[in-house]
Structure 1
Amino acid sequence: MSRPQNVGIKAIEVYIPKNYVNQAELEKFDEIPSGKYTIGLGQTNMSFVDDREDIYSLALTVTSRLLENYNVDTNNIGRLEVGTETLLDKSKSVKSVLMQLFGENTDIEGVDTMNACYGGTSAVINAISWVESSSWDGRDAMVVSGDIAIYSKGNARPTGGVGAVALLIGPDAPIVFDPTRGSFMEHTYDFYKPDFTSEYPVVDGHFSLTCYTRAIDQCYQAYSKKITKEKGKTVGVYDHFDYNAFHVPTYI
């Protein structure tokens, strides 16, 4: 079997619940200056779920829609990765719940990657690495990422929301991934969920922004070093990249 070429995204499906809070109305309710959420955070609405939806239903919905809308043969899926930080069970994975959609095809590798924000990205990287590896058996991979982000009353609450995305990963894709990556990871306590009885995280917003901008810079430096082969030399942001996508609402 020939090695896969042009590995990337072959199909995308997004699901956002129909229930939402208008951010302009939330500004009035919180009695804060107009535009703090809509302009400052760049958001017009914040989605939420009712008692009939959870991370399982979100993942099932977006996965089933991808399979149906793109006529994906479930037997042609060899890896399924899930990225989330929304837990309903500390042992049973969301991936195992999604296996209901794949019929008799039980030969599917992959599992959940649990991590704040980065879980979905890591799941995509894992899927790509599988397609490019010696373990690849010619089938495509799927990545499902979703979360229910809720916060207690305060400054962080308008940054919440709900959504899920499903990606079909494989060779000969219209959106091809650059094989060069720059990564950065460190031990910090800017955002974490130590209380298993609560959905609310502990957040230090200003420190988290510092961590984010430092991580962006370090990833850029690491990527540039791999491209230029020289330490301290960077690629031009505007010359090398066509578009720059950042973490919302913490864009820069």
Structure 2
Amino acid sequence: VFDRGLRASYMRHVYDFYKPDLTSEYPFVDGKLSIQCYLSALDNCYNLYKKKAEKKGVKVDIGYFDGMLFHTPYCKIVQKSLARLVLNDFLANPSDSKFESLSSFKNLKLEETYFDKDVEKAFLNFSNRIFEALTKPSLFVASQVGNMYTPSVYGGLVSLLISKNIDKIAGSRIGLFSYGSGLASSMFSITVTNDYSDHSLLRRLISNLSSVKPLLSKRICVVPEKFSAILDLREKNCHKAPYEPTDDIKQLFPGTYYLTKVDEMHRRSYSRYFGTILNGNS
């Protein structure tokens, strides 16, 4: 269930990653600004979440969570984000004995640390065990398929649920940070039910996710040249109308929805494939 009254959101109008050219499927990206915006949004959401929790009489630091998940454009920024939360905790209470090895950073200003490599290295090293325990299990899907944009944080939740034993998931508190360029962001948390009996909703949910790893293992491997050709074809036909795809649908997994045609008014029609995948499994 969602932890009520704790969701923290932060928004700004900024051109970090945007699509002004509607004839292209590719965005304009200001890479350095995009990283700064992501980390700034994370700082603001985390500190607002902590303030809301404090009003309820709850003190929050990274140890409050049993799992911490992030929007995942790429996996390395997720590890840096976890370290960033620890940096926030440190600056809020630099005299805490557990931060003794970081005391030389106590006079930092948070807004000046986005690209400070010494700070980044120190807090990545300090938080590595926390990352391994709270966040790394959430990166399974992202490490296999890359950036999914909007659903990436929920792909992280799926990854966490299929990467741990159910008794370790039951009763846990999971923090989630969701982000969209432009920008809009939120941090919220969920508390998992303690009930993992045979017919519980939690066990049913995890059972329904049991196909994730097998499906990923059945993907079709192609040489780089063919993959590039597929991308070139996609780019060439992205805005074409009328258009009817000619690809072999037998390469699709059973149950996949696929585009059948685009008419002269750009109206799209879809069908669903129920056949057999190439390796013979239905």
Same fold (TM over 0.5): no
Structure showing greater Rg: 2
- The TM-score normalised by the length of structure 1 is 0.44
- The TM-score normalised by the length of structure 2 is 0.40
Higher helix share: 2
Larger RCO, structure (CA 8 Å, separation 6 or more): 1
Higher strand share: 1
